[in-house]
Amino acid sequence: MKKQHPVKKENKRSLPSVKKTSPATADDAMTDAFINEVTDDVKNDNLKAFWKRYGVYVVLAVAIGVSAAVSFESVKSWYNAKFQRQTENYIAAVYTPDLNDAKNTLEKIASDTNGIYSELARIQIANILFEQNKNDEAVAVLEELSADSSLDETIQSLATLKLAAYKVDFAPQAEIQTLLAPLAGSDSVFKPLAQDLLAMSAIQNGNIEQARTIYADLLQSEHISENFRTRIQDMLSALSDL
């Protein structure tokens, strides 16, 4: 009996705890505690099994993630440094007093993979060629840029406008209209400039009424500066006497 007494005591310690769980709230608490304990054990077992099977891959994924972050920062720093270097090279070339030196530097920028600076350099080369009275070469550069749809849209538009501005004094009106049609008929920010050149071409070719119409339409635009608006009004005043 004495040997069994401790056992009974143990049973009394566990059984009453079950018997005392008759109230619903006690049962719920007991059930929740039991479920949580089993869930934790299952979680631990699953975690061990998962780690045993996939632990190496988890470590590898973390290593790759850290490496990728470091690589991204390195690439970003390299890109920023390269972009700054390209900017400095381009500005230095543009402001070089000697036109031949400037042209040589710009040709080097244009031939390398310098993104938009390569395209800007080609427009600047055309400017230098005009200054050197090599108009045919300059026009050839601008025509190539204007026709190249793979270029940045702004660069292509600038080349088109510059080409039209050069030709407007002597080219047939139809040629200028064809050249500027993509800009004049779109919602491009360059549309007012294209229309202005179309009006100048109309004047050059004796179509004064057409020029007046273009300028009158331009005045209705909300996308022109006050200086540009004043210039158009001056042109309309001058045309009223013709």
For residue 20, what are its two tokens? 């005392």
pLDDT per residue over 189-214, tens digit each? Answer: 889 999 999 999 999 999 999 999 99
Nearest to 134 by CA among 142, 120, 173: 142
Q: Where are the domains positioned within the chain?
A: 73-167, 171-242
User: Quick one: pLDDT at residue 23?
Assistant: 46
Are 232 and 198 a contacting pair, CB within 8 Å? no
User: Quick one: pLDDT at residue 202?
Assistant: 95
Nearest to 107 by CA among 126, 88, 79: 126
User: Quick one: pLDDT at residue 78?
Assistant: 42
pLDDT band (50, 70, 90) for residue 54? low
Are 150 and 180 a contacting pair, CB within 8 Å? no
Nearest to 149 by CA among 173, 182, 118, 123: 182
Are 190 and 163 a contacting pair, CB within 8 Å? no
HEC profile for 133-187?
CCHHHHHHHHHHHHHCCCCCHHHHHHHHHHHHHHHCCCCCHHHHHHHHHHHHCCC
Separation in Å, CA 34 to CA 47, 50, 123, 233: 20, 24, 78, 88
Q: Considering Cα of 6, then 11, then 17, then 22, what sign does the dihedral take?
A: negative
Helix (H) or strand (E) holding 80: helix 24-94
Share of the chain above pLDDT 90, in %: 38
Q: What is the mean pLDDT of the chain?
A: 75
pLDDT band (50, 70, 90) for residue 240? confident
User: Quick one: pLDDT at residue 48?
Assistant: 55
User: Quick one: pLDDT at residue 90?
Assistant: 74
pLDDT per residue over 109-146, tens digit each? Answer: 888 776 788 888 899 999 999 999 999 999 999 999 99
pLDDT per residue over 88-104, tens digit each? Answer: 777 777 778 888 998 99
0.85 cut: is pTM over it? no
